[in-house]
Each structure stands twice: as C-alpha cells, then as structure tokens.
Structure 1
Amino acid sequence: MGGELALREGSEADGQLGTKPVGTTPNHYSLARKHTRKHSRARSLSGSLFMALLLTLPTPGQAREWKNITADSTPETPIPLVVTNNCPETIWPGIGTQNGIGPGTGGFALDTMSRREMWVSPNWQGRIWGRTNCSFNEEGTGPSNLNGVNGNGAACSTGDCFGRLNCQFTGQVPTTLAEFNLIGGMDGKQTFYDISLVDGYNIPLAIVYIPARNTSWIPPNLTNAACIASAGFLSEPAKYGHAYTNATFPIPYEAAQTNRGIANWCPWDLQRYPPTKPGDGIYPYPDDKIQRPIFDPCLSACASTHDPRDCCTGKYNGPDVCEPSYYSRQAKAVCPDAYSYAFDDQTSTFIIPAGGGWEVVFCPTGRSTNILNVFGDQLRTIASGGQITKEVVDVVTSKSFIESWPARGGGAGQVRPLGGVWGVVLVLAGTAMVAMVL
C-alpha cells in the first residue's frame, strides 16, 4: 500500500511524521513488551469448557492459491480475503470463522510491509484481529520457552489464542476487530461488516472493499473504513482525504485528533499496560501528565468490569436502557465509524450489496474515517435499492458536502434515531453480528 507513515526516529510523543520507511522500526517505537507473569497470563478456562467451545466451532476450510485477486462472486465462487501488515513490526493475524468455509488457517505470522492473499466462501461469517509480540514454540501449539514464563501462559501480549498460533475462536482482549457477515439480510444478498472496539483496542485497522465486476459498483469513499487511535500513525488533521480511495471520491475523516492528543484517549484505568509509577509511588494529577507508551492497548469498559451496565446485559439488554460508557464516548471520538458498545449500530454497521472481496489492513495510512455520519443517508439508499443513483454520486463526490457536515448538526459519535429502511436493516444486522460474538 502506498503512502506509508512512520514516526521520525528520535521524535517525541507528538508523533511527528518522517520519511523513515515503515519497514524499519524507530528505536523508541515497539509493539514488543517484555513478558512477565502478570502481563502474559491468559484468562484460563476449565478443560471441559475449553473442549466444549472447540467442538462447537467450524473447522477452517482448505486454503486455495489466488493468482489473480478479483471478486466475481457466484454461489460457487470463493471470495478474496487479503490481510496486509503496514505496521513497523511483525504481527500475527488471528482469524475466527463462525459460518461457511474459512481461509484454511486461524492465524499466521505476517512480516512488516507484507500481505497474504486467501479466500473464503460466499457465505462466510467471521472476524479478523491482530496479535502483537508473539512467541510460539516450533509447532505453534503453545508459547515459546523464551516468553519469560517457561512456556506457560499467553504467547502474545494482545489478541492471544490460548497460546496457539492457529486460533480456533476469538482472541484475548483487548483487540481491534474486523467483523464480516457476507450473507446478511433476509435474502442473503447483503454484506454486513464493521470495525469493533466493543472488546477494546490494540492496533490501527482498516477494511478495504475489493469490487466485483458482477455486482453493483460502489464508490470507495462509502466502503473503506478505518480506525486509527495510536499516536504516530495519523496524517495531519483534515476533514477529508484520499487514503484507500481516489481524488474523485474524497473520504470523510475524523478531523480533530492529533498525534499528541490521541495518545491519551484511553481512560487511565483501562490501559492494558499502564506506565510504571514514578519512584515515589504517587501519580501526578491529572493522569495525562504521565507520558504513555505509543503501543497502549485499551480495554473496553465491558471487558474490564463485566458490569451489566457496561456490557448491555441482563436488565440493561436494550438500546433504551444501555447507554454508552465514558470508554465508549472516547472510542467514538477517535474512531467515529467503529462499534464502541453493543447498541452502537447506526454509526457502526456498514451494509452493502453482497459479492465483493475484502482486505484488512493493519496500521493503515490516513486518519480514522467518518463515513457513516457524513454519508449515512447515501448508504441507506444503496442498502434499500441495491444500486447507486446519480443523486448519491453527486453527493459523495462533493468536498463541500463533507466540509459542511458540522454545520448540518454533525458531531463525533452522533447517533440518529433508527427508522425506515435502515431501522429494519439494522435489526437484521444486529442479529447477525451479535451471533458472531463468541
């Protein structure tokens, strides 16, 4: 992917952008963190529960080589699934399949500035996330003896799959998730997808649509969502840009965050690896006076507290009784197009005609997108009619329309009442996407 961003070597936490290639890691930036017993211990499951979960999960399908990445989909034609690593270090993508034929693997190592091309069946439902700082044994069946805990505990600092390279279901929180249901809707002719921070955030992620020649054409600034909430990866503040699109179709951006400010978005008590206390054991107040690490994974409120209020469970299981937490509001401010809590549907779920392929990009260029707030009406038109109209094209090619969004009453994390076609579609989307949460 072009236009990679990197921190200038030796720069401060304001994340000045330099020309150093992403493939070479600045000295002060690292996804790696030394394993300790405290930080690498995975949440344990009893043996019987663990085996029960494994028995209920689908087996990944057989991998097939893709010589030409296209997305002409029929019921018998596989769908391209590409995973790209633009991060400055190796990551270990995890893939969980809930329905259909998966890509033939549940996880693998992916070097910096590389990609892996795979396929899934047209009825695939699943999720993809990035694992960081992993160390496996030679068989990939458990942590390496080099992880500092004698081969026990977790193999990865975030996103771990019970120490295994080949994930069988979802990873240990916090993780930034890309979620897909390729056969959504009552007739299976729609694709639902989203970026989810419901379980937390670890690294930046984007979802890029691969158009199919035999499906309705959709402008790229309506489909290609990104969540970039790590210092040093943001381009300069702007209301729109052209990452993963083109000059004809400007993509709406979250415009307020800076590399310096975004370092502190995660509530202090939800940091997975908070900074070490000063020598006297007393934190300065406020907490943001302590410089945080660039790699600063953030637990969601639900993942941290398991409180029904935060998780929208029990008597709080409904959009009228479950409100966004402070974490959810912070997450929505830095990633407007991402799910921030269970009932964050309308400004989080993308719905388009089925048939195209998908690329998941870790550490994408640009900024977090703001597509659903700015172009929500246009996406509703496509979701209800299945095709793009001239009126939609006129709007999505207009830079002035994007620039005027705040004046039309827009704001980060704005949620409009459900109604009409979108309300019906989102009921279906919610049912399908909730089923994907293992």
Structure 2
Amino acid sequence: MATRAHRAPISLLVLLLASVTGVASKSFAITNNCEYTVWPGILSSAGSPGMDSTGFALAPGESRTMPVPAGWSGRLWGRTLCTTDPAGKFACVTGDCGSGRQDCAGGGAAPPATLAEFTMDGNDGMDFYDVSLVDGYNLPMLVAPEQQGAAAAAGGNCAPTGCVVDLNGACPGDLRVPSSTGGVACKSACEAFGTAQYCCSGEYGSPGTCRPSAYSQFFKNACPRAYSYAYDDATSTFTCAGAVSAYAITFCPSTTSVKSAGSNAEAPAGLPLINGTMVYQGGDQFVGAGAAARPALDLAAVLVGVAALALARPMPR
C-alpha cells in the first residue's frame, strides 16, 4: 500500500514534466533544394514550448530533422543572401530576424518572407498549418504531411500546401525587392503601400470589408493554396489528425518532389497546389486552359502568366 501511495504522485510528476518540457510528438524534415544556401528561422508563439534550434544553415541539397514539442505553435521561414560582417554580426537580405546571429533567439522574419505556420495538437488533437504570403514572398516552399494510413487524412483537410513557383522574376514592379542580379523578394501590398485597405486594418479590419486586391490575386493565382491576404482562411488553412508524425518542409521543391507530394491532387478546398492553366500571351492577353484569350484585368493578373511559365522549367535543385 505504501508503495502504491508513492507511485501516484511520481506518475503525476512525470506527466507534469512532460507538459512543461514539451515532449516531442512529431518532427519537421527540412530540406534545402535550392541552388544556394538557405538559413531557416524558427519563431515559437507566446506560451508555446520552444524548439531545439531557432536558426541554422542548410547548404544546397542538405536536410535536417527536428523534433517538434507536443503543443508547439509558431512559424518557420527561409532566410537568403546572409553574410557575417567583420564585427561578427550576421544579417540576411531576405527574412532577417534581427538577432545578429544564425539563431533567431525570439526574433521574427522581416518581410517579405514566405512563412510556414503551425499549431500542433490544437482543437480535438488536430494540427493546423498553412503557408502564408501575407507578409510577402522570398522563396518557394512546400509543406507536406507524412500520413500514416487513412486515419491521418480522416481528421480534416490534410494535404500538401505551399507556394512552389519562383515569383521573384514575375513580381509586379511596385512590389519587387531588387538587387544587382534581379528581384530577390516580392512585397505584399500592405508592406509596399501601408494603407488600411491593403493591410486589413481600421475600417477594413474585418472579412466583410477587407477583400482580395489585384496584388493579392497575383499571389493567389500563382499559389492557390497559400494565404494571399489576411482573411484568406477558407482556402488556405489545412488540418491533419494525430496520425501524422512528420511534416516535410522543402525550400525550392523540384518538380519531382512536388509530384510526389501530390501537387495534382485537389485539397478539400477544391484548389490545386499549382495553377498550371494560365499561359502568358504577351501584351495584355492571357488564357486559361480551354478558354479564349481575354483582356488582362490589371498588371498583376498579366504577370501571373509569367509565373506560370516557371512550371515549364525544372525547379532549382
């Protein structure tokens, strides 16, 4: 009896320690398929258990698997064109987190940056995730759940998502972040212009008043499953049940990796991972598959055709 009396609090203590320290329930398999080094950055949400690392380097072709604590929520992104100055300060041209080091240490991504956002073990034990272009775009990214049987998909909208085409070259001129070698990132309209209408703030701070703009449609047409503006929830939030043990996060996914992730499979939202139907005709014309040419609505819509051309070329490895 004495032994049993002591076992209960010990078991309770173990459970409490597990909840505090954040026992890993899943993992992220992060791969850099770009032709250049990418420095992933990680920011945990307030009150969330932390990750083992908040930033590191991935050379071209390199991968790293990270345990994800139970109940973790936060965001992950890729930093590019990073250097260390003579004083030892680390900084990146895109996605910089302001820490002055490879690890972000609580700093978030400076826009524009392609963001993967997660809430693990949320309502009913579901994982919620999305890829967001609300803060702009800096490189292609694919998030694909690794499903374990039918139980994984049965829990909801469990499918790959991301923005897997290179939009930097097709980015509208007033959103483009230029460099000596071309565009390196594409701002959101909110970042570029700072108005309430584009930022979904003030009198535009509700789903009924903040509507898609020509600029957000540029992102949405090229990357149908990614968030394109603040209230793009219906077609951009994905959920998986607890049977998913890992998420593969790939920067610059190749055409092979996109196909293996199920790019042609439609999510329950009815949207493909890639919009491959738009073809640039030149001037102010573009067509969809099986449709006659029609005038472009605006510059952003025309440029979507340019983005679609990237699908005909092999993605960087």
TM-score over 0.5 (shorter chain): yes
In the superposition, relative to structure 1, how do residues 351 and 329 fare at CA in structure 2: closer, same or farther (>3 Å)? same
Q: Which residue number in structure 2 is paired with residue 166 of structure 1?
A: 103
**1:105: which partner in 2?**
53
2:153–2:241 contact (8 Å) kept in structure 1: no
| Alpha-carbon distance in 2 for matches of 1:370, 1:213 | 15
Question: Any idea what the Cα deviations from partners look like across 1:110-129, whole Å, max 9, x if unmatched?
Answer: 11101111111120101110
User: Counterpart in 2 of 1:226?
Assistant: 162
Q: Secondary structure at the match of 2:178?
A: coil
Match for residue 365 of structure 1? Answer: 254
Change (3 A) 1:370 1:212: closer
Relative to structure 1, is the Cα distance of residues 336 and 378 closer, same or farther in structure 2, using a 3 angstrom cutoff?
A: closer
1:296 aligned residue: 184
2:193 aligned to 301, 305, 311, which one? Answer: 305
**Counterpart of 1:298 in structure 2: which amino acid?**
C
Aligned to 2:37: 90
1:375-433 deviation per Cα after TM superposition (whole angstroms, max 9, x unaligned): 32689xxxxxxxxxxxxxxxx9xxxxxxxxx89xxxxxxxxxxxxxxxxxxxxxxxxxx
1:335 and 2:273 are equivalent in the alignment: no
- SS of match in other structure, 2:131: strand
In structure 2, distance between residues paired with 1:359 and 1:101: 20
CA distance in 1 between counterparts of 2:164 and 2:130 reads 14
Question: What is the distance in 1 between the residues matched to 2:206 and 2:265?
Answer: 22
Following superposition, the deviation at residue 108 of structure 1 comes to 0.5
Q: Which amino acid aligns with 1:328?
A: S
**Do structure 1's residue 263 and structure 2's residue 151 form an aligned pair?**
no
Task: Decide which of 233, 237, 255 is 1:345's aligned counterpart.
Answer: 233
Looking at structure 2, the residues matched to 311 and 127 of structure 1 have their Cα atoms a distance apart, in angstroms, of: 20
Kept in 2: contact 1:194–1:339 (CA 8 A): yes
Indicate the SS of the match to 1:333: helix
Paired with 1:204 and 1:77, the residues of 2 have a C-alpha distance of 27
Q: Is the 8 A contact 2:138 2:186 kept in 1?
A: yes
For 1:90-113, what per-residue CA distance to the aligned partner results, in whole angstroms no more than 9, with x for missing partners?
Answer: 111101111433321110011110
1:6-48 Cα shifts (integer Å, max 9, x gaps):
xxxxxxxxxxxxxxxxxxxxxxxxxxxxxxxxxxxxxxxxxxx
Report the Cα distance in structure 1 between the residues aligned to 2:128 and 2:227, rounded to whole angstroms: 13
Counterparts of 1:135-284 in structure 2, within 5 Å, are: 135-136=83-84, 144-145=85-86, 155-162=91-98, 163-167=100-104, 168-185=106-123, 187=124, 189-212=125-148, 215-217=151-153, 223-230=159-166, 263-264=169-170, 266-273=171-178
Distance 1:375 1:110, change over 3 A: closer
Partner of 1:245: none
Unaligned runs of 5+ in 2: 1-19, 273-288, 291-317
Contact between 1:122 and 1:355, CA under 8 Å: does it hold in 2? no
Q: Is the 8 A contact 1:79 1:122 kept in 2?
A: yes
Q: Secondary structure at the match of 2:240?
A: strand
8 Å CA contact retained: 1:206, 1:224: yes
User: Does the 8 Å contact 2:38/2:78 carry over to 1?
Assistant: yes
- SS in structure 1 at match of 2:110: coil
Give the Cα–Cα distance (whole angstroms) in 1 for the partners of residues 265 and 233 of structure 2. Answer: 12
Q: Is the 8 A contact 2:25 2:70 kept in 1?
A: yes
Shift of 1:216: 3.1
Question: What's the counterpart of residue 376 of structure 1?
Answer: 268
Aligned residues of 1:222 and 1:371 also touching (Cα < 8 A): no
Q: Distance in 1 between matches of 2:150 and 2:269?
A: 24
Distance 1:370 1:316 in 2: 36
| Aligned-partner Cα distance in 1 for 2:81–2:138 | 12
Distance verdict in 2 for CA 1:355–1:96, change over 3 Å:
farther
Q: Any conservation in 2 of the 1:336–1:370 contact (CA below 8 Å)?
A: no
